[in-house]
Amino acid sequence: MQAVFQKPSFRFLCLAYLCAVLVGALAVFAAKSYLSGFSGADEPSHFLNGYFVADYIARHFGSNPMGAATDFYVHYPKISIGHWPPAYYGILGLVFLVLPPTLPVIFAVNVLFAALPAIGVAAALSMLADRRAALAGALVYAVTPLVLEGYVMFMADQPLTACLVAATAVWIAFSVRPGWGSALAFALLAATAVLIKGNGWLVVFIPVFHILLTANWKLLLSVRLYVAAALAAAIVVPWYMLTAKIAADGFNYQAGLPYATKALLYNLQALGRNVTPVGGLLALYAIVAEFRARRLDPWRWTIVSAVLSLLLATLLLQSLVPVDIVERYMAPALPAVVVLAVLGAVRLLAHWRANAPAPALAGAALAVVMAVPGIVHLVQRVPKADTGIAAVTDRLAAAKPVLTVIDGSASTEGWFIADMAVHDSALRGYVVRASKLLADSNFMGTTYSLKYHDTADVLAELHRLGVQHIVIVREGGKDAYPHSAQMRAALARADSGFRLGQSLPHQYRSGVTEVYDAIDPSRPDVAAVRNMGLPAKATALTKLQ
């Protein structure tokens, strides 16, 4: 199948992007993300990291940033720059300097980032097939379950995927015509990807796989390639040298063949779930067919092999680095899989005669089949629970030094801390996580033990610190942790010194949020709060001075 390559028009790519954005807006509306906030443990950290950058620029610019970060953490212990690289938070910080850090704003930003890879999908397919296939590919991509979850979860995987797709496109340009512009652009995109998230290191393997697949060995002699690599390394290596041990705390597995085998199998299955086995077979068919025809149309193979390189690079990194085995780590590979699947469908349908109606109908049927998992996911997706955090923080926003304890799931604790921080730009209040006050656990929560063994000790600690408010979030009518039940039992005692001041039933899901207020006024023991200590993620920041 000989292709006639046409550069996709800007207007067409905007149309494809708009379609993906509209799908994202529908997903956010269905999940109630713009009302309910965060439901994942990492979401509040990503938000608060960006908010801290904006707050630092607006209020503390010129002062020691690490000192500011440490002080901010003492008040609102959820920032985690160091565990994650800073690039995305720099972008968010600039956004929050212009727009308010509210749920509608941050999820609008999230949708705009999450929809960006659809442009790459449409651009590749418009050159390899035609505009109809390109638009179908952009829509299929936008409605895959993984992308739909990306719209409603405020994570770093979305901007990372967009950056890696852009880096792949720039690498194609460099491989065809190795100029300084494309070399430096690839270096900057590669560095940005690595500084958005550790998974971004997969960008290193894209050129490796592409050179192997195209046998374009002359690129290895290009001075521009090595200058670009040196520039990217100069940008990212210092950061990772300083934070490697911090990031490694998040690894859940041991590297080795058992992990690699388990991860590879899961990741392949995850991609198949998103485009259906039919889409997976079509992608495989496209790879085989395009490889066999590579000598007939080298330029076409240059594009296809770059798309395949992005897929292989993602699978390789996630099979080697034992961070975790979760579906969203396949986000960078999904645009490539969709391109290959749609291309496989186009090739298959090309066997029918052009003047018959069957190809168009069959093509539409295949696109619908690949979109089925996403459509089912969108219909069945339960809205995020509105735990009433916004109403509670409105009430508790500190006009004077006040210490509040928050108890709930990791996401709930984080969302409360983040919302309190936005209310308290002057840093008058303090929030302590019950999971850190009453229990000991590691960063990933794989170890856990209670600090206190009776309710009297719990109350003694609360009063010692000068706690004024305690917020307990019970989702589904259940305590989040053993220490949650322990603290509720302590508060139920007649001599607790606290009374229930507010009770809010959850919306969209069962549960209740309760706020207990100290009966007698008290001031927080700020020195005691500070002496509680900072985790490695926070204290390591001071080493970056």
Instruction: Write out the DSSP string of 69-108.
Output: HHHHHHHSTT--BTTB-SHHHHHHHHHHHHS---HHHHHH
Query: CA quadruple 204, 206, 212, 217: dihedral positive or negative?
Result: negative
pLDDT for the residue numbered 354: 52
Mean pLDDT of 5-14: 86
Query: How many Å apart are CA 76 and CA 63, to the nearest integer?
Result: 19
Q: Where are the domains of the chain?
A: 10-380, 389-544
pLDDT for the residue numbered 353: 56
pLDDT for the residue numbered 425: 86
pLDDT for the residue numbered 543: 45
Query: How many Å apart are CA 252 and CA 322, to the nearest integer?
Result: 6
pLDDT for the residue numbered 247: 60
Going by C-beta distance under 8 Å and a sequence separation of 6 or more, which residues neighbour residue 328?
146, 149, 150, 153, 155, 157
First vs last C-alpha separation in the chain: 58
3-state secondary structure of 26: helix
pLDDT per position as a tens digit, 34-58: 988 898 889 999 999 999 999 999 9
Of the candidates 49, 158, 153, the one whose C-alpha atom is nearest the C-alpha of residue 114 is: 158
pLDDT for the residue numbered 545: 40
Q: Per the structure block, which two tokens stand in for 325?
A: 């085995």
- Residue 142 to residues 19, 134, 282, 300, 475, Cα–Cα distance (Å): 8, 12, 18, 25, 31
Query: How many Å apart are CA 490 and CA 458, to the nearest integer?
Result: 7
The yes-or-no verdict on residue 474 having pLDDT over 90 is yes
- Residue 174 to residues 116, 180, 383, Cα–Cα distance (Å): 21, 9, 44
Whether the CB-CB separation of 513 and 392 falls below 8 Å is answered with yes
Phi, psi for residue 109 in degrees, rounded to 5: -60, -40
pLDDT per position as a tens digit, 333-375: 999 999 999 999 998 888 765 545 555 666 778 888 899 999 9
pLDDT per position as a tens digit, 146-165: 999 999 999 999 999 999 99
Query: How many Å apart are CA 280 and CA 263, to the nearest integer?
Result: 18
Q: Angle between the 87-98 and 43-55 helix axes, to the nearest 10 degrees?
A: 60
Q: Per the structure block, which two tokens stand in for 167?
A: 């880096």
Whether the CB-CB separation of 171 and 400 falls below 8 Å is answered with no
Mean pLDDT of 106-135: 96
Beta bridge partners of 433: 406
pLDDT per position as a tens digit, 475-508: 988 899 999 999 999 999 999 999 999 999 999 9
pLDDT over 90, % of the chain: 74
pLDDT over 70, % of the chain: 91
pLDDT for the residue numbered 444: 61
Q: Angle between the 157-176 and 298-320 helix axes, to the nearest 10 degrees?
A: 140
The yes-or-no verdict on residue 532 having pLDDT over 80 is no
pLDDT for the residue numbered 113: 98
Mean pLDDT of 270-297: 95
Q: Per the structure block, which two tokens stand in for 37?
A: 């906030």
3-state secondary structure of 192: helix
Per-residue confidence band for 538, with pLDDT thresholds at 50, 70 and 90: very low
pLDDT per position as a tens digit, 416-425: 999 999 999 8
Per-residue confidence band for 1, with pLDDT thresholds at 50, 70 and 90: very low
Whether the CB-CB separation of 468 and 402 falls below 8 Å is answered with yes
Query: How many Å apart are CA 248 and CA 327, to the nearest integer?
Result: 20
pLDDT for the residue numbered 360: 61
pLDDT for the residue numbered 252: 67
Per-residue confidence band for 111, with pLDDT thresholds at 50, 70 and 90: very high
pLDDT for the residue numbered 535: 54
